[in-house]
Amino acid sequence: QVQLVESGGGQAQPGASLRLSCAVSGFTSNNYAIGWFRRAPHSEREGIGCISVSDGRTYYMASVKGRFTISRDIAKKTVYLEMNNLKPEDTAVYYCAATDAGPFSETWFEVSLTTKGYEYDSWGQGTQVTVSS
């Protein structure tokens, strides 16, 4: 059974940085993808980026490209979302999600993030990020 546990959320001032972690368990290989999503109050779930864990390829949506970075530590079975230059509009509950049903092409990445996460099978519980002065 795949389990995902997010951590690292909290409060931050505009312009600050936060790093979220997604601890992954239950996969028997590294051939899976982790997507990061967020849900702001009164908004729909939004895909922001994803990573192919086996080779580290990443994809980002325009709203966070250049500010957010996704990385992974295979030994620790953890995927990270480094968020820099935070803005009040980044306030949301952040979720990581996983699937091993690829093909994890760039097209797949984009589709998986723009279809509100329906491509992903397992989800973490979410962690709150609040950006305010």
Q: Which residue in 47, 41, 51 sits closest to 62, CA to CA?
A: 47
Residue 16 has pLDDT above 90, yes or no: yes
pLDDT of residue 116: 80
What average pLDDT score do residues 115-124 get?
91
- The alpha carbon dihedral of 124, 70, 80, 106 has a sign of positive
Q: Cβ(129)–Cβ(94) under 8 Å? A: yes
When pLDDT is cut at 50, 70 and 90, the band that residue 97 belongs to is very high
pLDDT of residue 73: 97
Phi, psi of 106 (to 5 degrees): -65, -35
CA dist., res. 56 & res. 49, Å (int): 12
What digits encode the pLDDT tens for the residues 18-60?
999 999 999 999 999 999 999 999 999 999 999 999 999 999 9
Distance, C-alpha 10 to centroid of its chain: 16
Residue 117 has pLDDT above 90, yes or no: no
What are residue 78's DSSP bridge partners?
23, 73
Mean pLDDT, the chain, rounded, equals 95
Q: Cβ(35)–Cβ(113) under 8 Å? A: yes
Q: Cβ(70)–Cβ(99) under 8 Å? A: no
